Amino acid sequence: MAQNKLFWFDSHCDTPSQIYRLGRDLSKDNHHCHVDFPKMRRGGSGGAFFALYTPPVMEPDAATRYALEMLSGVMDTLDAHPDQASLVKSPSEAREAIDSGRLAIAIGMENASPIQRSLSLLREFHRLGVSYITLTHNGDNELADAASHGTRWGGLSPFGREVVAEMNRLGIMIDLSHAHDRTFWDALEASAAPIMATHSCCRELCPHRRNLTDDMLRALGESGGYVGINFYPSFLSPRFLANPDEAALMDEADRIDAEFRADTSNKSKLLAWQQVQDRLLEIWRPGVREVADHIDRAVSLAGEDHVGIGSDYDGIEVGPEGLENISCMGALAEELSRRGYSAELIKKIAGANLLAYWEKVKALSGE
């Protein structure tokens, strides 16, 4: 059974945008890529949440269409490779897929803009398989204030409170990565179900506004929630990009990425995008040890039943040293074992905690 073996289940990968933008064939071992089926297999993955990310600058109708197009790309991929992976809408379906030797692909939505101001659209995305929603991204929206802004509502909006109640009723997990601190506490108070942060780190170790404070981590654990530790170097260590030349390289990478997004069929722009990724791998980055440091702190504050992995693969320019893509997860298991983590605790952090949390939210909804 799935719960008796070690498998990684990542709570946040941005792979749908890569399928949509690049036509990535997940059945192949792709270069300059964080996630595909061969890499998942090599890394001991049982599955992952694929996040439908829509930029906050998109108008509502455009965001809805883009989310549906990304979801269609995921479904086309799964339809083409039914022996390799399956869409799962519940933890029981995830365990069934893993037990049968298939990768379990669940769907999240990063940024609630595609639901617009419509509970009907929320319900429809749920029917299509969306199992968690990250309320905001890097911009305040109709639901709530974001960590990067935080000036519109003072936390959750009135409509955001309606959405939280409906997500509770439907059994959709509420994700507060990217949320403003006031939004976090509002949602914790408003939600009848425990909340999650799918891809966040510990603010005490890296003072970034996207990371969680010690009080937030304690509250997540006490309420029965979940945090997935993010692999983005900027959230792991303040040393990353502290050198001005390295920071300038990241700015260059952002510019090249934006140019490539605007013209993905242009081979010269693809080459420039690949080359700047290679250059980013040459600068100093936090590594496996720093990821484990954040896991240590989260476990000490939230508890060993409430911590997992939310890598942000395919949504970050570069991964940590030694965790360059999803095939490298064995290195993290080795580091945790070296630190004295038992085999059972490593299983929890790898994926069992995430599935148990998902099961809890489902049960509270009556589904």
Q: What is the pLDDT of residues 148-159, one digit of tens each?
A: 988 899 999 999
- For residues 274 and 333, the model is more confident at 333
Distance CA 94, CA 122 (A): 22
Full 3-state SS string of the chain: CHHHCCCEEEEEECHHHHHHHHCCCCCCCCCCCCCCHHHHHHCCEEEEEEEEECCCCCCHHHHHHHHHHHHHHHHHHHHHCCCCEEECCCHHHHHHHHHCCCEEEEEEEECCHHHCCCHHHHHHHHHHCEEEEECCECECCCCECECCCCCCCCCECHHHHHHHHHHHHHCCEEECCCECHHHHHHHHHHCCCCCEEEEECECCCCCCCCCECHHHHHHHHHCCCEEEECCCHHHHCCCCCCCHHHHHHHHHHHHHHHHHHHCCCCHHHHHHHHHHHHHHCCCCCCEHHHHHHHHHHHHHHHCCCCEEECCCECCCCCCCECCCCHHHHHHHHHHHHHCCCCHHHHHHHHHHHHHHHHHHHHHHHCC
pLDDT, position 149: 87
Name the CA radius of gyration of the chain, rounded: 19
Contact present, 28 and 38 (Cβ < 8 Å): yes
pLDDT, position 135: 98
At residue 173, φ and ψ (nearest 5 deg) are -70, 140
| Band of residue 366 on the pLDDT scale cut at 50, 70, 90 | confident
pLDDT, position 310: 98
The pair of three-digit structure tokens given for residue 117, joined into one six-digit string: 């101001």
Mean pLDDT of 337-348: 98
Mean pLDDT of 251-269: 88
- Give the β-pairing of 8-13 and 45-53: parallel
pLDDT, position 264: 81
Distance CA 249, CA 241 (A): 9
Q: Which of 14-23, 45-54, 269-278 has the highest mean pLDDT?
A: 45-54
Instruction: Tell me what the pLDDT averaged over the chain comes to.
Output: 96
pLDDT, position 21: 87
The pair of three-digit structure tokens given for residue 83, joined into one six-digit string: 């022996």
pLDDT, position 91: 98
Distance CA 109, CA 122 (A): 11
Distance CA 170, CA 247 (A): 43
| Percent of residues, the chain, with pLDDT higher than 70 | 99
Distance CA 213, CA 231 (A): 17
